[in-house]
Amino acid sequence: MTEQEQGTSLDGGGGTDDGYSPRRWAALAVTLSVVLMDMVDSTVLNVALPSLQKDLEASSAQLEWSIAGYTLAFAAAMITGGRLGDRFGRRRIFLIGLSSFVITSVLAGLATGPEMLIVARVLQGAAAALMVPQVLAMIQVEFPKFEHPKAMAMYGMTFALGGLGGPLLGGVLLETDLFGLDWRPIFFVNVPIGIVGLVGAVILTRESRAEQATSADLRGTCIATAGLLALLYPLIEGRPLNWPLWTVALMLACPILLWLFVRYEKSLVVQGISPLIDPALFRQRGAIGGLLVAIVFFCGTAYTLVLTVHLQAGAGYSPLRTALSMIPFTVGVGIGSGFAPKLMPMGRKLVIFGSLVMALGMSVVALTIDRYDTAIEPWQLIPGMLVSGIGLAMVAGTLLTIVLAKVPPAQGGAASSLINTSIQVGVAAGVALVGTVYFGQLENGHTPTDSAVTGMVVVVGLYILAALLALVLPSGSVDIAEEQNNDGPVDAALPQGAPVTART
């Protein structure tokens, strides 16, 4: 089946007799390097937080916004970014997003205060939302079906490398203190990489667009974003302001705004207009349950905020030593990824078990911090981090499978995008919730160790809650073959970061 038969048009750039570009693998390498840059940028900031706080005199709430702002902007604009690519050309939107990402990286590196950094990070996240969705779409149309598994394996490996490389790169750059610029090179490094990516994309990639592209639904995006901000803003700002009444009122407005969003999307369907999110998805038990579990489960990835700040500010670690302490988690994800796919037919049982494994691993980390206090050594964190990584590998792919297993083919792409958006929302909400508890403990006079343990207890509670919520998922085994026969872009929901598979 050619791209034209799939409802996609290709413009220029040459091609083989079968319509596919002979330079598609080189083009993929270029676009994946950009995805890697985005992944690194979404994780690199964690190890730099103490340096940022000292240099910019940032408050704890501003540190949380510098992380959550990027993730929230990416989550809110990602589906719209994909729609814009379908309508105006994926190559064009990719280049616009990449150019914007380079510019906003410079702005972040030049930040003279926390406010400027937060604005730059939000704009960075929005730029990433323009460029990242185009890569998956390009794979779908530029590669024949038999090459998709290999291309998608490379795509998945990019996330693994980004999750591992982000903290390590940040640690190295902070350790070497290039040109005496302290934390700023973690953003400036994007400039040469981005320029090379721009040149490569211009030369190697072809334009493609959907012949029947849907509207971007900017109004729906704004309503959904307002609903999310109504929850996250008071969570982050409420504690420093001593929880005034308006913060409570704003949080109560969150479900109302989200209800209005669903109503608006339904009205678009009635009018024959393509909505941002098809309301029919919410009638699927697997979809709604999986999205709910994904949000709560990935809230727990905020453990990285607690651990990186505690190891540096509390235990006196260098940024590089902190980053190296996180590697066992990545190893655990690798181990879990080796056997978890074979267990996926267990369905919700695997999600429940994996969530409890995560809770166990984080409990071990919390007990380790409590026992060794500020004298903690990296090797003492290995057991808990390793177990936690295995738990993440059990849950991430299984959730995706459950959500997509019963979704009609026509809704596969929307469901894939929605679960990825839910993951990003969970990460941002976790930073707000766990960060509020952790920094609140510190600012109330508790010791660094007690504050870190309290923050980790909240993380453990989130994973236990995810296991309980998983009970709403459909029971019984999951038909993997059925899910794989779904014609929607299943791989669009590959989780990002944490530190390997979900943005943190």
For 235, the token pair is 């969570």
Q: What is the reported pLDDT for 65?
A: 93
Question: Read out DSSP for 206-224?
Answer: -EEEETTPPP--HHHHHHH
What is the pLDDT at residue 264? 92
Residue 330 CB coordination number (10 Å): 22
Contact of 384 with 332, CB cutoff 8 Å: no
How many whole angstroms from its chain centre is CA 319?
Answer: 22
Give kind and range of the element (H or E) at residue 10: strand 8-11
Whole-number Å distance between alpha carbons of 295 and 423? 6
pTM to 2 decimals? 0.83
DSSP type of residue 210:
E
Two tokens, residue 69: 């702002």
CATH number of 18-217: 1.20.1250.20
Question: What are the tens digits of pLDDT across the range 20-44?
Answer: 778 889 999 999 888 888 888 877 8
The residues that bridge with 493 in the sheet, in sequence order, are none
Torsion of CA 492, 155, 327, 435, to 10 degrees: -30
Residue 288 has what pLDDT? 78
What local confidence, expressed as pLDDT, does residue 2 receive?
A: 44
Q: How far apart are CA 192 and CA 173, in angstroms?
A: 15
DSSP secondary structure string for all residues of 271-324: TTPPPSS-GGGGG-HHHHHHHHHHHHHHHGGGHHHHHHHIIIIIT---HHHHHH
Q: Which stretches of the chain drop beneath a pLDDT of 70?
A: 1-19, 153, 156, 159-160, 211-214, 285-286, 404-417, 476-504
Whether the Cβ atoms of residue 323 and residue 170 lie closer than 8 Å to each other: yes
Burial pattern 449-464, b for ≥16 Cβ within 10 A else e, equals bebbbbbbbbbbebbb
Nearest to 85 by CA among 76, 75, 72, 95: 95
- pLDDT of amino acid 217: 80
Q: What is the CATH number of domain 279-504?
A: 1.20.1250.20
Residue 361 structure tokens: 């691993």
Q: Which of 48, 347, 321 is nearest to 186 (CA)?
A: 48
Residue 413 is predicted with a pLDDT of 57
Q: What is the dihedral of CA 234, 237, 243, 246, to 10 degrees?
A: -50
Quickly count: other Cβ atoms within 10 Å of residue 161's Cβ.
17
Q: Is 8 helix (H, G, I), strand (E, B) or coil?
A: strand
- CA–CA separation, 392 vs 337, rounded Å? 9
In whole angstroms, how large is the CA radius of gyration of the chain? Answer: 22
Establish whether the linkage from the previous residue to 499 is cis, with ω within 30° of 0.
yes
